[in-house]
Amino acid sequence: MKRSKSRIGHEPPSGEVHGRVSSCDDCVRIRQELEAAQEEIAHLNRTLYRVQQIARLGYWRASLKANELFWSEVIYDIFGVDPHTFTPSIRAFKAMVHPEDLDSVEASMLRAQEHGHHDVVHRIIRPDGEIRWVHELGDYEPEGDDQILIGTVRDITEQKRLELRLRQLSRTDELTALFNRRYFMQRLLQELARYRRYGRPTSVVLFDFDHFKRINDTHGHPAGDQVLVSVGKLLRDRLRTNDIPARLGGEEFALLLPETGLEEAIGVAEKIRQLVQEQTFTSEQGRCFDVTITSGVSAFQGAEETVEAILHRADQNLYQGKRSGRNRVVADERGR
């Protein structure tokens, strides 16, 4: 018998087959590792974006020479613009900076080119008109002829609102929303220094309520608080924006009236007295009652004037009014 012919060609050596299989296994492993790495990068990017959202923090890159600006996604949200329709640029950014803050922003960018660091807090005006506060930090990195700033921007609007609230609490009376004694004394010292330098007229009015204890005893403390709150609102509504109405404590109030001579201050005090007298209050029991105040008025006098002296005169005038029958205004003697 004839031996059968071998198949066309020949089988590769076993080592060659093993090499090809190993090579295919390596490709699969590398592809899997690459996919895993890409997924990990995607996960890190999502985490970074979420962290930036939580912190209200975005990053940017600016080419000062080319007027080019790159924003991360969060910055579009901070500035209230659509990333699909808004193209960032240095000019577009500056157009959104609050006009009162633009000089400080530009000055910080110039300082960065000299000293390498950009650090500025400023306001922006979003397209919907909302004003927000941001804090920019950046470093200057020259790249050849280009001028590159890279950095971050953080939305600090809530922080600024809290700071404002804390400042308000530190200088205002919680019940009446008027200024407190501490702030009143600070402003009184400032106005005295201004008076000594320029001789501008300034007056002080001190007043308190007549028989206020009787109001609390008869109608209850909520009724007394109602009176204090109502008169506080009256003062805020009727006085000028540069006047300083304050609650010194209890039922004691004070008015600091810049650019106001004695005669005009007497007129202000008398008008306030009349407005308070015209008000009618109602207790929790439904009983109506009214109140009156007595005021003492004094004006800055001469180069030797002191805070203690003007307050003492106003206080003495107030108590002279109490002794004279209450519900009146008593002032320094004219021409004294």
Structure token digits, residue 71? 């924003």
Rounded Cα distance, 117 and 137, in Å: 8
Cβ neighbours of residue 261 closer than 8 Å, sequence gap 6 or more: 201, 203, 299
Residue 98 has pLDDT above 90, yes or no: yes
- The answer to whether the beta carbons of residues 68 and 89 sit under 8 Å apart is yes
Contact 172, 180 (CB under 8 A): yes
Note the maximum CA span of the chain. 152
- CATH classification of 172-331, choosing from 3.30.70.270, 1.10.468.10, 3.30.360.10, 3.30.1490.20? 3.30.70.270
* φ, ψ of residue 109 in degrees (nearest 5): -65, -40
Please give the helix or strand (H or E) that residue 82 lies within, else none: none
Query: Which of the residues are catalytic?
Result: 251
Mean pLDDT in residue range 267-294:
95
The class of domain 55-160 in CATH terms is alpha beta
Query: What mean pLDDT do residues 75-98 have?
Result: 95
- Report the candidate in 107, 84, 112 with the shortest Cα–Cα distance to residue 97: 107
Which tokens sit at 318?
A: 């107030």
Asked if residue 6 has pLDDT above 50, the reply is no
Q: Where in the chain is the domain with CATH 3.30.70.270?
A: 172-331
The pLDDT value given to residue 22: 60
Q: Where do the CATH 3.30.450.20 domains begin and end in the chain?
A: 55-160
List, for residues 224-263, the tens digit of each pLDDT value. Answer: 999 999 999 999 999 999 999 999 999 999 999 999 999 9
Report, as an integer, the average pLDDT of 283-307: 94
Least confident of 37-51, 205-219, 299-313: 37-51
DSSP label at residue 11: P
Match 């009983």 to its residue by tokens: 287
- Listed ranges 40-49, 310-319, 325-334; the one with the highest mean pLDDT: 310-319
Say what percent of the chain tops pLDDT 70.
82
Higher pLDDT, 142 or 321: 321
Tell me what pLDDT residue 110 has. Answer: 92
User: pLDDT digit string (tens) for 45-84?
Assistant: 555 456 455 547 899 999 988 889 999 999 999 999 999 9
Backbone angles phi, psi at 224, to 5 degrees: -65, -40
Total-model pTM: 0.62
Give the residue from 199, 56, 41 showing the smallest Cα distance to 132. 56
DSSP 215-271: HHHHH-HHHHHHHHHHHHHHHHHHS-TT-EEEEEETTEEEEEEET--HHHHHHHHHH
